[in-house]
Structure 1
Amino acid sequence: MALRIETDTRIPAGLALLMAVQLVCAAFFIGDVVADFRANPALGSWPYHLGIEAVATLSLLGAIVIEARFLMSLLRRKAHLEQNLKIAHAAVHEVIDAHFESWKLSPAENDVATFLVKGLDIAEIARVRDCAEGTVKAHLNAIYRKSGTRNRGELLSVLIDSLLDGGAERA
């Protein structure tokens, strides 16, 4: 039951491009404010628009910093959640494998039970295992008998109940 979990902490290209454009704009505005200030260095005689440009530039820089911090926080949270998902995934496998072992399933029955848990129907299991549907049905009957269940729903219920009870054996 391989579930592929990818951990990707890269910054999305569109967001990186947006931040780069914002930084270029901020650099341009800083240069413009500095050039305007040099042209008119007396603080009391600053034109109104120079003050607005300075505030807008500082606001843009502040927004970039906040945006970067928020993005880094989201990337850390994503990595943490992906790590938790890996741990949960491993725990689910352990619980299911423990049930299969306690039921003493043969290797073929174990394969069929795994595909059953994944949601494949009889025809799909037969196709994947390259065997007849009758063979899959025979394995399913053995699995149900060994697990004390009568059908897929009951089997999944036993496994899910076990997961919800913290992995306690219910077989």
Structure 2
Amino acid sequence: MAAMSGKTRTVGVALAALIVLQGFCALFFLSDLARDFMEMPDPEVTLLHFSLEVVANLALLAGAAVEAAFLAGLLRRQAHAERALSAASGALHDLMESYFADWGLTASEADVAAFTIKGFTIAEVAEMRGSAEATVKTHLNAIYRKAGVSGRSQLVSLLIEDLMRGALPGADGAAQKSGNAA
């Protein structure tokens, strides 16, 4: 559970604790049920009481089983989401690198483009790169010109649309990108 998000981890731990608590309660009630069965002083009263305890115990065990299944499903979905996010992150990086190479961006322009796509402001990019804002703006103008877009939103949209279509670098990705230009 170490790789889970905070909220998912909290829900998972709470469900696991509840399942364990229900298991202890079920054991307690099973021992009480066995003791009641051995001591049956008044068969009519004890049979009703015994039947209610059996039903309550079965409901408690069924609830624990359902919660365990829910927890297992939650953990599977979390693992799947983390794998998908990791794959998408890698695919976006690969797609960005492919585009940067196709556009003929310099190393500095590629750096600025990557920060821009990640959502950093011009001032933040300038600070991270240790350059002036005017230099970042010059790089951005060159990036937009080489990419054939008019601004940040179109640049990001271009990459995200190709990523969502499954365009990946390599032969298939290049074919899809060249098809986009037509």
**TM-score bracket, shorter-length normalisation:** 0.7 to 0.9
Find the partner of 2:3 among 2, 7, 26.
7
**1:44-89 deviation digits (Å, cap 9, x = unpaired):** 8843111101111122112212211221122112212221222222
Q: Gaps spanning 5+ residues in structure 1: where? A: 1-5
Flag the 1:78–1:107 CA change in 2: closer, same or farther, 3 A.
Answer: same
Residue 162 (structure 2) aligns with: 162
Percent identity reads 44
Q: Matches of 1:28 and 1:164 in 2, distance apart?
A: 54
Runs of 4+ in 1 over 6 A off after TM superposition: 41-45
Give the partner amino acid of 1:7: A
Q: Matches of 1:42 and 1:89 in 2, distance apart?
A: 69
Shift of 1:108: 0.8
Q: Matches of 1:41 and 1:97 in 2, distance apart?
A: 81
Residue 89 (structure 2) aligns with: 89
Flag the 1:51–1:157 CA change in 2: closer, same or farther, 3 A.
Answer: closer
Residue 98 (structure 1) aligns with: 98
Q: How many residues align?
A: 166
Higher relative contact order (CA 8 A, sep 6+): 1
Q: Gaps spanning 5+ residues in structure 2: where? A: 168-175
Shift of 1:97: 1.3
What is the aligned-residue RMSD (CA, Å)?
2.4
Q: Matches of 1:39 and 1:83 in 2, distance apart?
A: 56
Residue 38 (structure 1) aligns with: 38
Residue 16 (structure 2) aligns with: 16
Residue 59 (structure 1) aligns with: 59
Q: Matches of 1:65 and 1:158 in 2, distance apart?
A: 47
**1:124-170 deviation digits (Å, cap 9, x = unpaired):** 11111111111111111211221122222222232233224431224
Q: Matches of 1:55 and 1:163 in 2, distance apart?
A: 54
Residue 136 (structure 2) aligns with: 136
Q: Matches of 2:47 and 2:41 in 1, distance apart?
A: 11
Give the partner amino acid of 2:111: D
- What TM-score, normalized by structure 1, do the two folds share? 0.85
Flag the 1:25–1:88 CA change in 2: closer, same or farther, 3 A.
Answer: same
